[in-house]
Amino acid sequence: MIKNNIKESEVTDYKHYLNRRAFIGGGLAITAGVMFSKITNATTINNYLKNKNYGKGLEPHSYEEITGYNNFYEFGTGKRDPEKNAKNFKTKPWNVTVAGECKKTGTFLLEDIIKNQQLEERIYRLRCVEAWSMVIPWLGVSVASVLKKFEPNSKAKYVKFTTLLDKEQMPGQKRPILDWLYVEGLTIKEAMNPLSFFAVGLYGKELPNQNGAPIRLVVPWKYGFKSIKSIVKIEFSETRPINSWQQQAPNEYGFYANVNPKVDHPRWSQKRERIIGRGGFFSPEKRDTELFNGYQAQVAHLYKNLDLAKNF
């Protein structure tokens, strides 16, 4: 499994991290099979990353902000609960079951699923349906590169993802907040889009428990609840799955969940978003919400002739 040799004290401040990125260009890449075992500190991590300029112009939030403010209801509903309650969450070994409309099914070790995959750094803005956002430097692999390994067939129209169910390790699951298991889904075209990403780390470190360790989905043009954490099952399906929040409140949460400032949540506006950690308590910094979270050029074609107000 993933081995983490980076000490907490070696995590580089994000301003210095940004300066280092200016020197990346056509550098060496590192495969997921050895991603952390041969990297000894955060200073050298970027020399091994395949840079595709994701997140150009975005300034990442600090490691402390990213790991200390989370939505992960399996560990509690408060934003600080996941950091506190996920400390002893065991992620090694980690198995992922692959099922449904594909040639290669079964239960696999995570390290075998991402073996020989090209690790990439991607800086994406995470936009929450609660109208807040932060910018995160993820480390991981493209969803397409993983899914193609299992050879989905022509009936695979959708991909369904499922989170671990373990009430002893995940105390939030003892409360009927949702109908556990936590489930999410994408169309196969969304899943295969180059922006879709499986994150296994951030800031050059192994992914922290509270951020969805050991593997989570990141779909940057959708609201954050689509980016399911601690994935234990991937299923190719001919029929569209019902995601957990859609099942819980279908008038508030749809299947697509594309960031759209013109479609308000029934209880609040989506036209603007609060930037975590910026500005004062009584005057937080805000920004205008962008359609598809700013990724319109890359994903708008997926929704041609689809009414985004009805298909929210």
For residue 88, what is the enclosing H or E element? Answer: none
Q: What is the CA radius of gyration of the chain?
A: 19
Q: Write out the DSSP string of 217-246.
A: EE-TTB-GGGS--SEEEEEEESSPPPPHHH
Tokens of 301: 């074609």
**Which of 282-289's residues contact partners 24+ apart within 8 Å by CB, and which partners?**
287/133, 288/261, 289/127, 289/131, 289/259, 289/261
Tokens of 261: 């400032």
- Pairing state of beta strands 120-128 and 50-51? parallel
Cα-Cα end-to-end distance for the chain = 38
Question: pTM, whole model, 2 decimals?
Answer: 0.86
Max intra-chain CA distance, the chain:
55
Domain residue ranges of the chain, discontinuous segments joined by +: 8-253
Fold category of 8-253 in CATH: Sulfite Oxidase; Chain A, domain 2 (3.90.420)
Helix (H/G/I), strand (E/B), else coil: 21: helix
Helix (H/G/I), strand (E/B), else coil: 174: helix
70 close to 78: Cβ distance less than 8 angstroms:
no
171 close to 76: Cβ distance less than 8 angstroms:
yes
- Residue pLDDT tens, the chain, 312 long: 433 333 433 344 544 444 444 323 333 344 554 444 433 334 334 444 444 557 878 889 999 999 999 999 999 999 999 999 999 999 999 999 999 999 999 999 999 999 888 788 899 999 999 999 999 999 999 999 999 999 999 999 999 999 999 999 999 999 999 999 999 999 999 999 999 999 999 988 899 999 999 999 999 999 999 999 999 999 999 999 999 999 999 999 999 999 999 999 999 999 999 999 999 888 999 999 999 999 999 999 999 999 999 999
CA 279, distance to chain mean position in Å, is 26
Residue with tokens 């003892």: 174
